[in-house]
């Protein structure tokens, strides 16, 4: 058995990755390492918690005293590093949480890796990162592998710092690594603070749908399973020490996405006039205008293609939220209600 860690495996993308690896790679024993913050949730893993090749460990990745013994005990060969504070708006409210997990947490994992993987070549530190490290585009441009880092939110800066640390440890200590930067994911199990589940849950509850500014900011959307399939493929066959861009060439203005969700929701549920719920609210400070990704050519050469067309993925996602109301109840704790009030309370 090859032992693998998935940090942040109880979060949105991490839980899909854990499930996908268990389904497709019978030689792997998966250890989910997750602190279970507001965004992490054992409900996301309920179908695999008792899987014989999966073990869950509740640990803060920045806590070396806990990471070190788990490493000695499990001796992982691959670290899929997804644990992070991941929401830009929260990074504007409390940047230090992002420094703690995204920077100190990543550095802690790298330190422990450096000690245990000294001279090993058959290991991999896989850093899952974001297109937000590249900053904001104007016009019709795309980010490429050559785009310089220009992070502009505390979230983006903390992920950029983490990416730099991974490269620096690779260069200085010879840790085999790979980084992929991906655009906005959507799909089941996404915490409802993010745009697509926020809109769907507000449609379900017939609540006003907040859209920042004029709604023209552009994000590049990809279904979470297409992202996860790319990660698994790159871990197996991607070149070590390289950075890959993962995207489905699907950049869209936020307002277009929100309107599309309204139309699909009305079609699927028989509701009417959902677009009337849209409210333009005060913009996010420092809101980047456009993210768009030119996916890495080598990813296509390896045979990866995005498989989920956007409209179909949105329909499936709406259907999932409609049929998982208990999950929603469970994840939307008092903490989320407090956060929502703080973030949007005086914006309407
Ligand atoms: N969601 C996206 O659109 C997107 C796009 C590109 C890259 N990413 C990156 O992918 C990764 C996963 O994103 P996500 O959307 O699934 O995030 P998420 O917020 O849904 O999940 C993050 C997980 O990390 C855990 N976590 C947070 N702090 C921790 C700590 N100190 N120690 C251990 N665990 C901790 C949380 O409990 C949670 O389970 C992140 O690194 C993010 O930057 C996300």
Catalytic pick among 132, 193, 226, 288: 132
Report the separation in Å between the CA atom of 276 and the middle of ligand 1, taken as the mean of its atom positions. 33
pLDDT tens column, 146-179: 999 999 999 999 999 999 999 999 999 999 999 9
Whether residue 113 is predicted with pLDDT greater than 90 in this model: the reply is yes
Per-residue pLDDT at 139: 85
DSSP 284: P
Task: Report how far apart, in Å, the C-alpha atoms of 151 and of each of 104, 130, 297, 303 are.
Answer: 18, 10, 24, 31
- For ligand 1, whether the C-beta of 330 sits within 6 Å is no
- Rounded average pLDDT over 175-199: 97
Count: domains in the chain:
1
- Rounded average pLDDT over 6-22: 98
pLDDT tens column, 217-244: 999 999 999 999 999 999 999 999 999 9
Per-residue pLDDT at 128: 98
**Does any domain span residue 23?**
yes
Per-residue pLDDT at 149: 98
- CATH number, domain of 124, equals 3.40.50.720
Whether residue 316 is predicted with pLDDT greater than 80 in this model: the reply is yes
CA separation for the pair 102, 86 (Å, rounded): 9
Whether residue 338 is predicted with pLDDT greater than 80 in this model: the reply is no
- Rounded average pLDDT over 201-209: 97
**Does any domain span residue 200?**
no
By C-alpha distance, which of 288, 223, 249 is closest to 142? 249
Report the separation in Å between the CA atom of 14 and the middle of ligand 1, taken as the mean of its atom positions. 7
CA separation for the pair 340, 225 (Å, rounded): 28
Whether residue 344 is predicted with pLDDT greater than 90 in this model: the reply is no
User: With bands split at pLDDT 50, 70 and 90, how would you rate the model's confidence at 333?
Assistant: confident
More confident residue, 343 or 25: 25
pLDDT tens column, 281-314: 999 999 999 999 999 999 999 999 999 999 999 9
Contacts of 123 (CB under 8 A, 6+ apart): 76, 77, 78, 113, 117, 175, 176
Whether residue 20 is predicted with pLDDT greater than 80 in this model: the reply is yes
**Does any domain span residue 259?**
no
- Rounded average pLDDT over 310-334: 93
- For ligand 1, whether the C-beta of 198 sits within 6 Å is no
Whether residue 114 is predicted with pLDDT greater than 80 in this model: the reply is yes
Tell me, yes or no, if 131 is annotated catalytic: yes
Question: What is the DSSP secondary-structure string of 55-124?
Answer: EEEE--TT-HHHHHHHHHHH--SEEEE------HHHHHH-HHHHIIIIIIIHHHHHHHHHHHSTT-SS-E
Per-residue pLDDT at 36: 93
By C-alpha distance, which of 105, 95, 97 is closest to 34? 105
- For ligand 1, whether the C-beta of 99 sits within 6 Å is no
The region, left, alpha or beta by phi > 0 then psi within -120 to 50, assigned to residue 305 is: beta
pLDDT tens column, 29-61: 999 999 999 999 999 999 999 999 999 999 999
- For ligand 1, whether the C-beta of 12 sits within 6 Å is yes
User: With bands split at pLDDT 50, 70 and 90, how would you rate the model's confidence at 348?
Assistant: confident
Task: Report how far apart, in Å, the C-alpha atoms of 122 and of each of 119, 328, 347 are.
Answer: 9, 40, 51
What are the φ/ψ torsions at residue 52 (nearest 5 degrees)? -65, -20
- For ligand 1, whether the C-beta of 184 sits within 6 Å is yes
**Does any domain span residue 53?**
yes
**Does any domain span residue 309?**
no
Query: What sign has the CA pseudo-torsion 288, 80, 85, 252?
Result: positive
Whether residue 276 is predicted with pLDDT greater than 80 in this model: the reply is yes
Whether residue 120 is predicted with pLDDT greater than 90 in this model: the reply is yes
Per-residue pLDDT at 7: 98
- Rounded average pLDDT over 247-275: 98
Q: What average pLDDT is seen over the chain? A: 96
Report the separation in Å between the CA atom of 251 and the middle of ligand 1, taken as the mean of its atom positions. 22
Residue 175: give the domain boundaries: 2-186+222-246
Best residue for ligand 1 mutational test, from 36, 39, 63, 192 (most atoms within 8 Å of Cβ): 39
- For ligand 1, whether the C-beta of 308 sits within 6 Å is no
Per-residue pLDDT at 341: 83
**Does any domain span residue 157?**
yes
């Amino acid at each position: 058995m090859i032992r693998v860690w998935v940090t942040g495996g109880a979060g949105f993308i991490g839980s899909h990755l854990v499930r996908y690896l268990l389904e497709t790679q019978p030689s792997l024993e998966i250890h989910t390492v997750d602190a279970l913050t507001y965004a992490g949730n054992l409900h996301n893993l309920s179908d695999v918690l008792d899987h014989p090749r999966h073990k869950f460990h509740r640990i803060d990745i920045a806590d070396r005293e806990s990471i070190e013994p788990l490493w000695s005990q499990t001796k992982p060969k691959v670290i899929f590093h997804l644990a992070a504070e991941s929401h830009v708006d929260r990074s504007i409210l409390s940047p230090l949480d992002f420094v703690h997990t995204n920077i100190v947490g990543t550095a802690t994992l790298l330190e422990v890796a450096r000690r245990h993987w000294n001279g090993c070549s058959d290991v991999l530190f896989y850093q899952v990162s974001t297109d937000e490290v590249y900053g904001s585009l104007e016009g019709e441009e795309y980010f490429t592998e050559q785009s310089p880092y220009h992070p502009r939110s505390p979230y983006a800066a903390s992920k950029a710092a983490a990416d730099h640390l991974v490269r620096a440890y690779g260069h200085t200590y010879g840790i085999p690594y790979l980084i992929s930067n991906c655009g906005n994911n959507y799909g089941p199990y996404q915490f409802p603070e993010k745009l697509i589940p926020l809109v769907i849950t507000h449609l379900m509850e017939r609540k006003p749908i907040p859209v920042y500014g004029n709604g023209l900011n552009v994000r590049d959307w990809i279904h979470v399973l297409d992202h996860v399939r790319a990660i698994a493929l790159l871990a197996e066959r991607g070149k070590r020490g390289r950075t890959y861009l993962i995207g489905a060439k699907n950049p869209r203005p936020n307002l277009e996405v929100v309107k599309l969700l309204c139309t699909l929701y009305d079609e699927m549920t028989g509701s009417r006039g959902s677009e009337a719920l849209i409210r333009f609210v005060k913009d996010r400070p420092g809101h980047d205008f456009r993210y768009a990704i030119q996916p890495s050519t080598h990813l296509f050469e390896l045979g990866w293609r995005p498989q989920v067309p956007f409209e179909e993925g949105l329909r499936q996602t709406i259907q999932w939220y409609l049929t998982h109301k208990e999950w929603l109840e469970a994840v939307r704790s008092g903490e989320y209600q407090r956060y929502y009030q703080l973030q949007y309370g005086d914006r309407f």
